[in-house]
Chain A
Amino acid sequence: MALRINAEQKKLTQTPLLKIWVPWMGYNLNRRRGSSVPQFCNSPTMIVMVGLPARGKTYISKKLTHYLNWIGVPTKMFNVGQYRREAVKIYKNFEFFKPDNEEAMRIRKACAAAALKDVAAYFSKEQGQVAVFDATNTTRERREIILNYANERGYKVFFVESICDDPEIIAENIKQVKFGSPDYVGRDIDEAMEDFTQRIDCYRASYMPIDDEKDRRLSYIKIFDVGSRYLVNRVLDHIQSRIVYYLMNIHVTPRSIYLSRHGESELNLLGRIGGDSGLSPRGQKYASALAAFIRGQNIRELKVWTSHMKRTIQTAEALGVQYEQWKALNEIDAGVCEELTYEEIQQNLPEEFALRDQDKYRYRYPKGESYEDLVHRLEPVIMELERQENVLVICHQAVFRCLLAYFLDKPADELPYLRCPLHTVLKLTPIAYGCEVESFYLNIEAVNTHRERPVSLLSLQNVNVNRKPEDALQTVPDHI
């Protein structure tokens, strides 16, 4: 096949926002050959949970969904229980789940079918790449239905089975998440526990775990006893490999993650971004206050992480304990804008400044990074944070936002505007399906470095590249 490349196609131009080089084809990016990010999955993938109730399926589904979305893989969770709650408005008791309750069986089958339809719509109409199908899926029959559905449409299927017989773990799960469920709202706790236990028994009789012999052609991971053991079969592609790695790193041991920025720096005072300056006097005060705060928290075996930048290290030094430096925790690289004030950026690079306001998540500083780049850079940090127990991370504004967005499941367009003021520690404690957040302001004054999202009442006017300087600088905080 002869390769005829005309001169026009060979010329490259850099997209102004993302700073990605593309062929000059009239910006018709859909016809472009090159993808600007590595392709992790070619066909849509269904992750199908398997397991008795209270085995952590929804917990795993939610975490996995957050993680995949955070790394840029559009993922959506489909909880069949929700569909059932829509169909049957009031939950009476466990009898609904009895295997001989024919009417209920019909409803439950219909709910699963409805969920599958929505999965198909998500893939075909919403450009989803991964769907997490969260249900018990405890019979071979049900799993066959799902497999057929997927095969007909060319979806890959990866099963995640959670197996646990430790009564303590199960009781704890039930306490943590079931009592708060809409099914049991307002009920007496003991009554709820009794009912749920009977519910589990309804499934137990017909439960057929994935069979290592009969199902040897399927792709799956079996998780035993909350991660003490795993059996992994036939990982087909990159995304499945990443999912397995992630699942093998998460745990449920109670712990807290403390996030803090470095103390106020000299460049902060001057309203300059980036750079590698040391702490201001107030920043030093914060470092001492942080040390006192941490001591007061009485944290067991706390790990302390900083970036490679002087201001975070100086902050950590005040704690008087061991700390580890991660280059991956360095602040976003502002490229040619390093150490400029926002006013200077507006003056010298007004177009860049406007583009940043247009799409702050994807905007890449010239010769620098974007928030999107930052997320990729931080992925190993997140993975290690999942493995760890009590950790204090001393980092920077943009990095802080990325980490916070991961733990609180904030979408990409909100991420760059999350509030992360100086001299404030956030304590994140995973509970149930989410994260409890406590904010501690340590009472040491500092400049404000937060830029609000430009108010676009006049729609695109305030992010237009031709906007007036006064409009552009509206969102810039005060400084010396």
Chain B
Amino acid sequence: MPRELTQNRIQKIWVPTKDDKPAPRRAACAPHFANPPTVIVMVVFNVGEYRREAVKNYSSYDFFKPDNESAVKIRQQCALAALRDVKSYLKEEGGQVAVFDATNTTRERRDMILQFGSENGFKIFFIESVCDDPSVIASNIMEVKVSCPDYRDCNKNAAMLDFQRRIECYKTSYQPLDPNQYDRDLSFIKVIDVGRRFLVNRIQDHIQSKIVYYLMNIHVQPRTIYLCRHGESTDNVEGRLGGDAGLSPRGKQFSAALARFVEEQQQKDLKIWCSQLCRSIETAEHLGVPYEQWKALNEIDAGMCEEMTYDEMKEKFPEEFALRDEDKYYYRYPAGESYQDLVQRVEPVIMDLERQENVLVICHQAVMRCLLAYFLDKKEMPYLKCPLHTVLKLTPVAYGCKVESISLNVEAVNTHRDRPEEMKKGPGTLIRRNSVTPLTSPESNIKKPRIDDLDESPIQELPPSVASMALCSPSHLPITLAGQNLRRNSSGLRDVLQPCQ
């Protein structure tokens, strides 16, 4: 007898009313991409955040000398502590992928990780970054290492020198992955010379294939991404959702202002992307230059609520209205979409944005929130403030993204709805995330290492700004993490985007 189905009220997903086979569930509401869980192991020069927790004051590169026995012991302990946390994340916290970020430059260390993976039923995928170009390395060191907490009391040159010596300490024991003999059965990608060349070995499954594709699309060329919404539309003025209306007079003013702004910015080879909805195209038209339309950039489909005002929606669909406030990220409009659906839909745009250089994306409120959340690694996607007539200028720097918010000084209605006071925070947006694009890193991803053997006094909590910096990714990959804490020369910085609460 076929089981009865009900449609889950928030996500509008059809599920069996009574799931007599609770684990493993028969119906997965999205394709399973990382099953069993995967550990991605970085093979690259780096310094561990765990080590910084254990050894509060970094004195010099001597710590990294291969013959410094007590240091070697500490470093080993840190690796083990991190692996314990990986295990807990993947087994108990519902995580699907753990990125193990350390140097892992010796076979011995990697064999230990492989053993760990095999004991726990985790797949292991290595990412090795190989670069011998001295100018690239020097510039990486300047960009991210000298301002690292280890060097907070040093001047730039001293830091540079010490770090180069640190690299030397690793060089003698460095055993790169060997695709021809020793490591030929492992799954890995070698990224050579900052993405000029890749060696890919034994991709096992979808998630590894997607990771390889992603790594092959990102780059480190300096560039700028501009995000803005279409000019105010006639529907906006009436407070209506969705639809396909044209610009209001103020919207047209904004478009003209945008054209002037683009000219002033003088960006080389700026690409203009917009959606296929009238208001976004009308805005693009005003720029007087070629543009490309992406259907994937269309606003979130409000289904049966299209073209209603929020009041009308509340009146006609009071239950839906309440459900949306309960969990705005997963909530799917009846016969429409959710933010979660939007993320999947927008993924090819993100992938192409990674490949591009200077781009201006003219889109819509929900879509812009998706894109912004991706670049700034934000959790509160459905509540990010993306007002009309404001351009966000994103410039990747170091490990994050500098954001400038530039209002073009043309009045518009406010279309933003804050999370209602009476609503508690919805269920965690991390677990059961079945989306294709990697979303936020866990807020509390700075795990306190449990290094039981060491006689250290209780570990102090790192201030957030330092903590986010400490999560060093391989220096050639500008993985965007929360960038709002980066303090740089403020000249030219107008105001920094504030996420709303």
> Which residues of A line the B interface, CB within 8 A?
1, 3-5, 9-10, 12, 14, 20-21, 23, 33-39, 212, 216, 228-235, 237-238, 241, 244-245, 248-249, 276, 278, 284, 287, 305, 308-310, 313-314, 316-318, 321-328, 338, 367, 373, 376, 379-380, 384, 387
- A-B contact list, 20 entries, CB within 8 Å: A9-B285, A12-B285, A21-B281, A34-B290, A37-B292, A38-B293, A229-B179, A229-B200, A231-B197, A241-B213, A241-B216, A284-B2, A305-B31, A308-B12, A308-B29, A314-B2, A323-B28, A324-B32, A325-B14, A379-B348
- The secondary structure that dominates the B interface is mixed
B264-317 residues with Cβ-Cβ distance < 8 A to A are 273-274, 276-278, 281-282, 284-296, 306
A34 and B31 contact, CB distance less than 8 A? no
Question: For residue B7, which residue of chain A has the nearest CB?
Answer: A310
A34 and B293 contact, CB distance less than 8 A? yes
Asked if B478 lies at the interface with its beta carbon under 8 angstroms from chain A, I say no
Please, which residues of chain B bring their CB within 8 A of the CB of A38? 273, 292-294, 352
Please, which residues of chain A bring their CB within 8 A of the CB of B288? 3-5, 33
B293 and A36 contact, CB distance less than 8 A? yes
Once A and B bind, how many residue pairs between them come within 8 Å at the CB atom? 164
A37/B335 contact (C-beta < 8 A), A238-B352, A284-B2, A322-B26 known:
no
Question: For residue A376, which residue of chain B has the nearest CB?
Answer: B295
Q: Could you tell me the distance in whole angstroms from the C-beta of A213 to the nearest C-beta in chain B?
A: 11
Asked if B246 lies at the interface with its beta carbon under 8 angstroms from chain A, I say yes
A229/B199 contact (C-beta < 8 A), A241-B355, A323-B28 known:
yes
Please, which residues of chain A bring their CB within 8 A of the CB of B167? none
CA distance A6 to B406 in the complex (A): 27
B5 and A322 contact, CB distance less than 8 A? no
Q: Count the B residues whose beta carbon is within 8 Å of the partner chain — how many?
A: 65
B3 and A317 contact, CB distance less than 8 A? yes
B13 and A308 contact, CB distance less than 8 A? yes
Top-6 shortest CB links A-B: A3-B288, A230-B200, A232-B198, A324-B28, A317-B2, A21-B281
- Interface stretch, picked from B52-60, B202-210, B388-396, is B202-210
A325/B209 contact (C-beta < 8 A), A232-B216, A314-B2 known:
no
Please, which residues of chain B bring their CB within 8 A of the CB of A328? 344
B27 and A323 contact, CB distance less than 8 A? yes
Asked if B80 lies at the interface with its beta carbon under 8 angstroms from chain A, I say no
B285 and A33 contact, CB distance less than 8 A? yes
B5-34 residues with Cβ-Cβ distance < 8 A to A are 5, 7, 12-14, 16, 24, 26-32
B183-212 residues with Cβ-Cβ distance < 8 A to A are 196-203, 205-206, 209, 212
Please, which residues of chain B bring their CB within 8 A of the CB of A20? 276, 293
Asked if B98 lies at the interface with its beta carbon under 8 angstroms from chain A, I say no
CA distance A287 to B1 in the complex (A): 10
Asked if B263 lies at the interface with its beta carbon under 8 angstroms from chain A, I say yes
CA distance A234 to B294 in the complex (A): 27
A33 and B292 contact, CB distance less than 8 A? no
Please, which residues of chain A bring their CB within 8 A of the CB of B285? 5, 9-10, 12, 23, 33-34
B14 and A33 contact, CB distance less than 8 A? no
A327/B341 contact (C-beta < 8 A), A10-B285, A14-B278 known:
yes
A248 and B203 contact, CB distance less than 8 A? yes
Please, which residues of chain B bring their CB within 8 A of the CB of A5? 285-286, 288
Please, which residues of chain A bring their CB within 8 A of the CB of B14? 308-310, 313, 325
CA distance A276 to B334 in the complex (A): 11
Q: Could you tell me the distance in whole angstroms from the C-beta of A196 to the nearest C-beta in chain B?
A: 30
Please, which residues of chain A bring their CB within 8 A of the CB of B294? 37-38
CA distance A229 to B199 in the complex (A): 7
Please, which residues of chain A bring their CB within 8 A of the CB of B277? 21
Question: For residue B345, which residue of chain A has the nearest CB?
Answer: A377
CA distance A23 to B206 in the complex (A): 42
Please, which residues of chain B bring their CB within 8 A of the CB of A9? 285
A33 and B246 contact, CB distance less than 8 A? no
Known contacts A34-B291, A317-B5, A380-B436, then 8 further A-B pairs from the complex at CB < 8 Å, ordered by chain A residue: A228-B201, A231-B197, A245-B209, A308-B14, A309-B14, A313-B14, A325-B13, A387-B206
